[in-house]
Amino acid sequence: MHELSLAGNVLDIVAQAAAAQGFTQVRVLRLSVPALAGVEVAALRFALDALAPGTALEAARIEIDQPPGRARCADCLREVELRDRLDPCPACGGLRLRVLGGSALRVVELLVPETADAVAGEDRGAGRCA
C-alpha cells in the first residue's frame, strides 16, 4: 500500500509549510491525484485520515481532484485524455500512447486560518498557502 507512504509525504510537505509560514492548523488540503498517477484515492484518503491526528491536518477537510491524464497517440498523432494507462486512444483505438502528463500527485492548496483567534474558533478569515 504505497498510499500510506504518499500520505506520509503529504504530511511532511504540510509540516514544512507550517514551520516556514507559522501556522498550526489547516482547514482545507486540496490535492491533485491525476488518473495516471497509479494512486488508489480511497486508500490515500484512508491513510491521510489515519495519520492526521496530532498534526496540522487533524481537523482539515481533504479535497482530492482527479483530472484525466494526457497522452500522445503515435498512430493518429493526437493529444488525448486518458483515465487509465491501459486505455486505447479514444480517437483511433491505437495502443501506442506516450504519457505527457497527469501522472504526478501534487499538493495544490492549503487553506489555513489567518489568526490565532480563528484557530480557537473565532473565524476572522483564512489565508492560503500553496
pLDDT digits (tens, 9 = 90+) for 52-66: 999 999 999 999 999
Any idea which architecture 2-66+103-129 has in CATH? 2-Layer Sandwich (3.30)
Mind listing the pLDDT tens digit for each residue in 2-61? 999 999 999 999 999 999 999 999 999 999 999 999 999 999 999 999 999 999 999 999
pTM over 0.85: no
Nearest Cα neighbor of 129 from 83, 70, 60, 80 is: 60
User: Domain spans of the chain?
Assistant: 2-66+103-129, 68-101
End-to-end CA distance of the chain: 27
